[in-house]
Structure 1
Amino acid sequence: MRSRLRIAAAGAVVLASACASSTPTAPAAPTLRIGVDLPISGGEARAAVPALNGIRFFVQTHPTLDGYNVALVTADDASRGMPKPSLGAANVRSFLADPSVVAMIGPFDAGVARKEIPVANAAGLAMISPATSNPCLTRNLFMPAPLNPAHIEIDCKAAGLPSAADLRPAHINNFFRLTTTDELQGAAAADYLVKDLHLLRAAAISDHEAYGQGLADAFMSRLTALGGTVTGRLDLDPARPDAASYLQSMKDAGAQAIYYGGGTPGGGCHVRAQMKASFPANEATPFLGGDGIAQDPACVGAAGDNSAGIYGTVPIVDASTLASAAHTIHEFKGAFG
């Protein structure tokens, strides 16, 4: 197994040959390369390109590290507008083919991560993801009992996902991330509904995927723990995202808000548009969800004239709220707009 934890070896200094001048020529600084694998084209580019620019900004402002030049090797893991796991794995193999690549940043998508982690793990290549939030990438437990409405643990296998142990053939950990895990998004949305919006009755919808189902389960469990009431649950078929009859029944049951676990492609934001036929429009009936819909122009477009009153969680610290980040944010905007 080639270890990528051997920076010193990768950075062996080659002395330049003596030139005609009597003044010796300083040796060229060795270069360390960092791979970057993100969906920089397609539907996720709106989030991935700013992340890439943030990486570029850091390298521009920190061009050397302990005497080494730092350079980026960038790869796109999107194909036909969507992240493609097999392409991500191929990108990792291309990083491994370059002995000067000592680590990688990425990916954005959990499905891509599940293909990339075993490849990188077997070679000892460190990975840091700025965005993936599926719990099974870093642990063997999908849903802890306190955040499951049934009050039992759900392991990754039961959720239909490989566990963290399954993804690490070398039995070492090489994968790190900046985000928290998905189930905490659902719980945070319930906290916001009760403590900030002062509402206690909500219906839940999920998109028939493990990501969305986990968010909805955690929302329901946390809302109940806070003294609220879940008026109903619908697992939506993305191929036929028609929830009109369900929405009317939830209005009749006294729901004050709708929580949607899933992404924009799963049809949830079309549900927001459908809500107008049964519920008071816009802010009068909040529509909450996770990072699959947060700040997504496609979600706003799908919601039509009922787009106001959409709230989305993102599983990472908002840097704009940190006084210590103000200077860096100002400089970044000056460089990248």
Structure 2
Amino acid sequence: MQMKIKLTVAAAVAALCGVAAAQQVVKIGHVAPLSGPQAHYGKDNENGVRMAIEELNAQGVTIGGQKVKFEIQAEDDAADPKQGTAAAQKLCDSKVAGVVGHLNSGTTIPASKIYNDCGIPHVTGAATNPALTKPGYNTTYRIIANDNALGAALALHAADKLKLKKVAIIDDRTAYGQGVAEVFKKTAQSKGMQILDEQFTTAQATDFMAILTAIKAKNPEAIFFGGMDPQAGPMLRQMEQLGLSNVKYFGGDGICTNEIIKLSAGAKTLENVICAEGGASLDKMPGGKAWKEKYDKKYPGQFQVYSPYTYDATFVLVDAMKRANSTDPKKYIPELKKANYKGVTATIAFEPNGELKNSATTLYTYKGGKKAPL
């Protein structure tokens, strides 16, 4: 009898060991600024990936006959290109199955070569510079509209809807800021708008009085800023101090956040902001409203812009793995190319160069201290 019990226990232990051995751990990398002035974007992006991974693990996904447990490997690039390439190399060395990121075009573009060289696919839901997909790597994918769409939409709105004639441009000299400003400028000029002045700053600056004073002397009807909200917030405050309260303020998705409301600290000029985001507004996304309720319960007060895209990007990678019946990038990249995934943000399918097919753009403004789609 005692022998029988021992055998039964041994069999149970062996069975449990077998179950443990059959479960495969699959790492998904995520990179964004988790420190520095852009950390609020990075945290929001990471939250989107974490939420997706928790839901995938709750589903009990099986790939290649094995139960899979997904884990996030989160890296901080501090919005710095050098740190971004180091983070990309670390993820390659860790043999992650795929990467969601990065946030900034200036970090994503150099990192994309590293991912290509080590054969790991990455999907960005935030980096918008069109140069990202120019090399044609089969490892690079974007699930948001690029700057060609964002910069052009803003310039067309300024010219056609608001009938503006005179605009000044400021950019922060990053790949993102320069890129979106250049597209705005070309489109504005093609519509007969006059570029009164072009000024430059950095992604670390907080004092814009000198460049705004120079611009004020030329009487612009609008200012376009190519950059992010840590600069846009103080700039709006300083515009008010200089009496530029009637000047429209245009920018891409980098300024189109909830954080800019805090960073502009009650400046009336916030009401003059018109910004563009890739994709539909949350209310018009296929699953946006329900998704946002879930997100706010889990991460109250942390939503910025891109977390629905990083959430979808995680599912897009796993969907390709499931269809390929493999977590090996070599085997599932061909399936990633053929994606047709019904996500929260849109139905995600890719052009041959990795750009999103049929990408939408939405313009926003700020009314009564709240962000609202135009």
Compute the TM-score of the two structures, normalised by the length of structure 1. 0.70
Tell me, in whole angstroms, the C-alpha distance in 2 between the residues paired with 1:234 and 1:324.
40
Are 1:121 and 2:92 counterparts? no
* Residue 305 of structure 1, CA deviation: 4.9
Are 1:76 and 2:40 counterparts? no
* Residue 109 of structure 1, CA deviation: 1.9
SS in 1 for 2:19: coil
Unaligned regions of 5+ residues in structure 1, if any?
1-17, 140-163, 166-171
Unaligned regions of 5+ residues in structure 2, if any?
1-7, 301-374
- Closer, same or farther: CA 300–191 of 1 in aligned 2, 3 Å: farther
Q: Tell me what 2:215 maps to.
A: 247
- Closer, same or farther: CA 302–184 of 1 in aligned 2, 3 Å: farther
Tell me, in whole angstroms, the C-alpha distance in 2 between the residues paired with 1:264 and 1:256.
21
Identity among equivalent positions (%) equals: 21
- Larger helix share, 1 or 2: 2
* Residue 92 of structure 1, CA deviation: 2.8
Tell me, in whole angstroms, the C-alpha distance in 2 between the residues paired with 1:277 and 1:37.
38
Letter in 1 for 2:166: A
* Residue 174 of structure 1, CA deviation: 0.7
Q: Tell me what 1:6 maps to.
A: none
Q: Tell me what 2:54 maps to.
A: 60
Are 1:50 and 2:44 counterparts? yes
- Residue pair 1:200, 1:223 contacting (<8 A) in 2 also: no
Tell me, in whole angstroms, the C-alpha distance in 2 between the residues paired with 1:325 and 1:244.
38
Tell me, in whole angstroms, the C-alpha distance in 1 between the residues paired with 2:172 and 2:94.
40
Taking CA–CA contacts closer than 8 Å with sequence separation of 6 or more, which of the two structures ends up with the larger relative contact order? 2
CA deviation map 1:255-306 (0-9, x unaligned): 4222222345667953762466454x2xx43111123322243884389453
Tell me, in whole angstroms, the C-alpha distance in 1 between the residues paired with 2:195 and 2:108.
35
1:225-264 equivalences in 2 (<5 Å): 225-226=190-191, 228-238=192-202, 241=208, 242-251=210-219, 255-264=220-229
Tell me, in whole angstroms, the C-alpha distance in 1 between the residues paired with 2:214 and 2:262.
20
Measured on the aligned residues, the alpha-carbon RMSD in Å equals: 3.3
CA deviation map 1:298-318 (0-9, x unaligned): 884389453331222223443
Tell me, in whole angstroms, the C-alpha distance in 2 between the residues paired with 1:318 and 1:70.
32
Compute the TM-score of the two structures, normalised by the length of structure 2. 0.64
SS in 2 for 1:313: strand
Tell me, in whole angstroms, the C-alpha distance in 1 between the residues paired with 2:285 and 2:172.
36
> Which deviates the most, 63-72 or 123-132?
63-72
> Which deviates the most, 45-54 or 323-332?
323-332
- Residue pair 1:34, 1:103 contacting (<8 A) in 2 also: yes
Are 1:332 and 2:295 counterparts? yes
Tell me, in whole angstroms, the C-alpha distance in 1 between the residues paired with 2:195 and 2:250.
15
Tell me, in whole angstroms, the C-alpha distance in 1 between the residues paired with 2:295 and 2:107.
28
Q: Tell me what 2:322 maps to.
A: none
Tell me, in whole angstroms, the C-alpha distance in 2 between the residues paired with 1:265 and 1:334.
26
Tell me, in whole angstroms, the C-alpha distance in 2 between the residues paired with 1:214 and 1:73.
31
Are 1:199 and 2:174 counterparts? no
- Closer, same or farther: CA 232–123 of 1 in aligned 2, 3 Å: same
Letter in 2 for 1:204: A
